[in-house]
Structure 1
Amino acid sequence: MLEHGGNLRAAQARYGGTDWIDLSTGINPHGYRAPAPSAEAWHRLPEPDQDLVRAACDYYGAPQLLPVAGTQAAIQALPRLRAELAGPARVTVAAPSYAEHAHHWGRHGHALREVAYDALDDAVAASDVLVVVNPNNPTGATVAPERLLDWAALLAARGGWLVVDEAFGDTAPRRSVAGHVGQPGLIVLRSVGKFFGLAGLRLGFVGAQEPLLAALDDLLGPWAVSGPAQEIAIAALRDRGWQQATQARLARDGARMRALLADHGIDARGTPLFHWWAAPRADDFHQHMARHAIWVRLFPDAARGIRVGLPGSESAWLRIEQALREWNDI
């Protein structure tokens, strides 16, 4: 199993202490206040709720969506589905990016390669499947929607797929291509976990043409999304007031984090929810912050960098500032 952010118990076991600030995930620390699910949600088998699909299509601006148990479920299933439908494929995954994509495409007989974002144009012609995380996790790199749609058309012309992971796309809605999932060959993944701060729901959505969604639904099997998750998500997806206030708060806090890092000599980029920078002394920085009970995400391999999310309190902001000040003094 690959290593991910959010493994705070491992940090506590290694470094000790209980009063930790977890910046490792990029999840909104001020998440949606989930309403209590109805008794029916607990007692009935969770049949698909069309109210959830309608609320999601309205929020994401998509013509059709399939609810899944987090985008991770789709990331694991799509390589298998492609192999069943069309056999082994030439798969290009933009890199560096969320490691689960390459991990699972490499497990089903596909010919996998990872290509830097600035070389993706040249990779399209030699690919049957192209996977792009937009905005990228961890670097925050983005690809213009027009460019993505051009790639999708080129791939679809020969039966290919463009998979666009928009798990962090809520804070950049104009970059989304979810509204175009009626187009052949385009598959879009959306997550309720990041912007809404509801990672524990394990709920996401896949947008694509109806036949592909039906095949994916069949592969994933019945009752994929729990009843409580469906009810909570309907409330969150419909709450326009909360969404607008959260966009403003995240924009403000994201700018504050970027300025804080810049004040301490760190040139970071990313999204309002997280910031990333290449760090030659990434391991040392990671350990320094951990000794201050601040858990950041270390990328030790090709990305070779640090990613930080947002804290959830003013006292946490002050602790981060103090740790950064001490890092500069080393």
Structure 2
Amino acid sequence: MRDHGGNIDTAMARFGGTDWIDLSTGINRSPYPVSDIPMSDWTMLPTRTAMSDTVQAARVAYHTKAPMLATAGAQAAIQMIPRLTRPGCARVLGPTYNEHAAALRAAGWQVQEVTHLDQLDGADLAVVVNPNNPDGQSFAPAALRALADRTRLVVDESFCDPYPDLSLAPDAGQHGLIVLRSFGKFYGLAGLRLGFVVGSSEDIAQLSDMAGPWPVSGAALRIGTQALKDQDWAQSTIARLQRDTAQADGLAQSAGWTILGGTALFRLYHTPDAKAAQNRLARHQIWSRIFPYSDHWLRLGLPGSAAEWQRLADALHDAGSVV
């Protein structure tokens, strides 16, 4: 099993308790309010009209006219993209979300993980997460467009909703550029399993064939369409998240941790001992994310209520007194 956040069942099994705050992911804990779903969305196959409506809402929200496919989360597209072309040399800018390299290797690609953007040149396929998970590093669209002119490029924009100026979705109709968008993270509805892949007409046609006729549920399409059209909610959420990141950073600094980066949906900190810090937070039934390649990095999502913020403040005070 690959290492991921969201494994709250592991935390419960190890530390006990049921009243957990899962901050191990970058999923918005103040989700979009879901209205009642008609029974027909559960009992009937999704219609082409419903799929088209959701894709059109996503095009408007992501400021693109490029071909697009709705998928069962960005993860579904990550697993299909390696099969678009014959395997060759792929380079992934890391450290980053580990499913990109894993999916490529499973499809027969030779994968190199590199640490600088210019090292992606010359690959048969290059992957950039922008902004990056877990450190939040971001790359100017102009630099990525230039790279896409030379190298077949996948840009994972799963955490890009708060940063629309970073997005390459408006450029994704050009050959050789594929852009991924996650719905569940920013809208806080990861269990819905909805995402989008934007690309050239040829790539989207191939991916559509792989995904099959009903890649997304009727309920996901209805909720996704409604949420993507609600720009007032999106703008107010972005403003709130900006305030919340400052609050989280202040609490972490009071615990003696150093800010390394992050996005408006998660923060990354340097701690004296990440494992000890995670354990201390877990005793307050707060689950965080640590990484097998660092003894010091700890990532925290953002609480979703005043009560959760108070629990995090208490837990960080405890953690700072020990590690």
The two structures share one fold, judged by TM-score above 0.5: yes
Contact 2:280–2:318 (CA under 8 A) maintained in structure 1? no
Residue identity matched to 2:99: E
Aligned residue number for residue 164 of structure 1: 155
Match of 2:118 among 107, 116, 121: 121
Q: Does 1:148 align with 2:140?
A: no
The percentage of counterpart residues that share the same residue type is: 47
Cα distance in 2 for residues equivalent to 1:80 and 1:280: 42
Cα distance in 2 for residues equivalent to 1:134 and 1:178: 12
TM-score between the two structures when normalised by the length of structure 1: 0.93
Aligned residue number for residue 319 of structure 1: 311
Q: Does 1:98 align with 2:97?
A: yes
- Alpha-carbon displacement from aligned partner over 1:183-205 (angstroms, at most 9, x marks no partner): 12110000111110010110000
For structure 2, list consecutive stretches of 5 or more residues without a partner in the other structure.
none
Aligned residue number for residue 62 of structure 1: 64
Match of 1:294 among 286, 292, 303: 286
Contact 1:96–1:303 (CA under 8 A) maintained in structure 2? no
> What is the aligned residue count?
318
Aligned residue number for residue 80 of structure 1: 83
- Describe the SS at the equivalent of 2:196: strand
Range moving further from structure 2, 17-26 or 275-284: 275-284
Cα distance in 1 for residues equivalent to 2:106 and 2:281: 35
Contact 1:28–1:195 (CA under 8 A) maintained in structure 2? yes
- Describe the SS at the equivalent of 1:241: helix
Distance verdict in 2 for CA 1:120–1:304, change over 3 Å = farther
Q: Does 1:203 align with 2:177?
A: no
Q: Does 1:229 align with 2:213?
A: no
- Describe the SS at the equivalent of 1:255: helix
Deviation at 1:304, TM superposition (A): 5.2
- Alpha-carbon displacement from aligned partner over 1:48-71 (angstroms, at most 9, x marks no partner): 321111101000012121101100
Deviation at 1:137, TM superposition (A): 0.8
Cα distance in 1 for residues equivalent to 2:107 and 2:292: 26
Cα distance in 1 for residues equivalent to 2:221 and 2:196: 12
- Describe the SS at the equivalent of 2:173: coil
Contact 1:92–1:113 (CA under 8 A) maintained in structure 2? yes
Contact 2:32–2:227 (CA under 8 A) maintained in structure 1? yes
Distance verdict in 2 for CA 1:302–1:329, change over 3 Å = closer
Runs of 4+ in 1 over 3 A off after TM superposition: none
Contact 1:27–1:193 (CA under 8 A) maintained in structure 2? yes
Contact 1:283–1:300 (CA under 8 A) maintained in structure 2? no
Cα distance in 1 for residues equivalent to 2:112 and 2:295: 16
- Alpha-carbon displacement from aligned partner over 1:141-200 (angstroms, at most 9, x marks no partner): 111111000000011xxxxx2000000000111111111011121100001111100101
Distance verdict in 2 for CA 1:111–1:303, change over 3 Å = farther
- Describe the SS at the equivalent of 1:35: coil
Match of 1:250 among 223, 238, 241: 241
Contact 1:62–1:179 (CA under 8 A) maintained in structure 2? yes
Contact 1:273–1:310 (CA under 8 A) maintained in structure 2? yes
Distance verdict in 2 for CA 1:225–1:148, change over 3 Å = same
Q: Does 1:177 align with 2:174?
A: no
Residue identity matched to 1:67: A
Aligned residue number for residue 52 of structure 2: 50
Aligned residue number for residue 17 of structure 1: 17
Residue identity matched to 1:55: A
Range moving further from structure 2, 257-266 or 142-151: 257-266
Deviation at 1:100, TM superposition (A): 0.5
For structure 1, list consecutive stretches of 5 or more residues without a partner in the other structure.
156-160
Deviation at 1:302, TM superposition (A): 5.2
- Alpha-carbon displacement from aligned partner over 1:115-160 (angstroms, at most 9, x marks no partner): 11xx2213312x11110111111111111111000000011xxxxx
Q: Does 1:137 align with 2:138?
A: no
